[in-house]
Amino acid sequence: MKKLTAIFMVSAMILSFTSCGKNESDKESSGTSSADKGTSAAEETSGTTAEEETELTTEEQTDSPDDKNNSETPDINDYITVDTPTPALWKATDPDSGNELYLMGTIHVVSEEKFSLPDYITEVYENSSGVAVEYDIRQLEEISGAQELLQYTLYTDGTKISDHISDEAYEIGKSCLTDLGMYAGVLDYYMPGLWLNQIEQSAIMSIKNLSSDGVDSKFIDMAAKDGKEIVSIETLEIQADAVVGYSDDYADYCLRMLPEDLQDIEGLAESLGKLYDLWASGKIDEMEEFSDDESDDIPEDLLDDYEEYNEKILYSRNKGMADRAAEFLENGDNYFFMVGAMHFAGSRGVDDLLEDKGYTVERLY
């Protein structure tokens, strides 16, 4: 799958969004939007309730042809070899004040059966006053939060997705969404990133024993139960921008590649298992190398678009994350700071940026 690693580094809320805000009542309007009557995106949105908007991308996922209980789908546990994770952990210190901040690289999808955390991680958590995560995904459990997310993925200039991509890409995306029971006319007013996200997540969650309850989500649940503070490092707008951070040409390419990608769920499971093993072994830089290998077949004329995409979803966000970590250090906040492991990879990671700011950063594990 061309964008496999992007699923892990784009944002913490992506997988959680596919199951949030679910309303069990029957809705008829999700398939009969005024988009089919040629209204503007703004008019369409104003005529759709928050509950209906959320259900456009969530309500029928449990009925997808690739249901995760299907005996023909691969099992993620067949591709995971690391039974006892030892994920990367850093300690940043302010040399002036002596304030410390522990930072962890996370992964947003884990095995339901093989996931565990070592003592050195749980000890940091227990000694912290709270967790600082990419985004507190509990906010998306409210209809208003899910609606706000959707608003950030909506065209606001009066155009539709078909104005930005080729007819071929549009028909492929529409066909995939229809096959999954997700398509509604109102989706024509949303950006390709939302289409790709929903289709790819359905493919990912068709894999047996793969949980969308990632590491950060588990810590959010723990902190809520323990009465610890939960702080969002990024805004919802930043998270949403990561979902739709494609150029039109790159989005067109990714949509056209969907049939080929979706035919190889076993290859997807193998790649996810490899990424999990790299995370669980603390091999952060190798995760970046793996990402580069996955992109080798991108056409040469789209390489600049691909680099621009990575800049939006990864490197520019690294700067904001480092700024927030510096803020916590300056304030002496005793948070356990955790963002996707790819945000620490290479020479432009959060840890490197903190060192550039004058903090002492030590990798402990």
Q: Residue 112: its pLDDT value, please? A: 79
Rounded distance, CA 125 to CA 127, Å? 5
**pLDDT digits over 317-358, tens only?**
999 999 999 999 999 999 999 999 999 999 999 999 999 999
- pTM, entire model: 0.82
Using CB atoms within 10 Å of the CB of residue 54, give its burial: 0 to 12 exposed, 13 to 18 middle, 19+ buried: buried
What confidence score (pLDDT) does residue 169 get?
A: 98
- Residue reference for tokens 């700024």: 323
pLDDT in tens, 201-218: 888 889 999 887 889 999
Q: What is the pLDDT of residue 311?
A: 92
- Cβ atoms 180, 202 nearer than 8 A: yes
* Res 326: pLDDT: 98
Half-sphere exposure of 91 (CA within 13 A, CB side): 11
pLDDT in tens, the chain (365 residues): 445 445 555 555 454 444 443 333 333 333 333 333 333 443 444 444 444 444 454 444 444 444 434 447 899 999 999 989 999 999 999 999 999 999 999 998 788 787 889 999 999 999 999 999 999 988 887 788 888 888 999 999 999 999 999 999 999 999 999 999 999 999 999 999 999 999 998 888 899 998 878 899 999 999 999 999 999 999 999 999 999 999 999 999 999 999 998 999 999 999 999 999 999 999 999 988 887 776 678 899 999 999 999 999 999 999 999 999 999 999 999 999 999 999 999 999 999 999 999 999 999 99
